[in-house]
Chain A
């Protein structure tokens, strides 16, 4: 298994542009999580899905952030419009019912 696959690995964009981060979970994992990591706030849960259904999006900072999971093998996190304070590493993780997370390699987002 290739593990959790995230793309792109790095993204540099200008303020105001739309950014889309992508994640392919491990096959058979029913839960998918999006985290944001910064020095100041550590690992923050943004949103998570069970069986493709959003369960808790209370961590999404504002309406500029949205996430979808159209099927069991793909999820996106979109920021529109992006701002410099969105600069962070965004991790996607998936887990089976055991709750054991596997993280992707992350996307390092820089908004200038």
Chain B
């Protein structure tokens, strides 16, 4: 089955700096890569996703990149703010009704 590895497990940045979280996946058939943000005590919520026919996608201060050849994808957050502090999960799926496999999460702390 699919295996998703995520790094780093914790990340501290100064407010205004950029943060990058990296993930690798094992199943070359995976074609859907969502990212979820989980604030303390809350549910995971989708913040951005990318499909395999696209190499990069941006939404305001966040962007995701995908390298299918190397089987890795990354989340980039620019101009970080304290409200970006949360646990971020990457995930991969072969799409359709198939299950999504999550990474182990990255705890991001933005220091004011």
Q: Which residues of A contact B (CB under 8 A)?
A: 30-31, 33, 42-43, 45, 48, 50, 55-56, 91, 95, 97, 99-106
Contact = CB atoms under 8 A, between A and B. Distances in A.
A42 B102 CA distance: 9
Interface string B2-45: 00000000000000000000000000000010101000001111
A48 B34 CA distance: 18
B81 interface: no
Given A43-B105, A99-B32, A33 B99 contact: yes
A48 to B, nearest CB: 5
Contacts of A100: 34, 46, 49
B104 interface: yes
Interface in B72-112: 89, 93, 95-102, 104-105
A66 B95 CA distance: 26
Nearest to B105: A42
Contacts of A104: 43
A56 B95 CA distance: 16
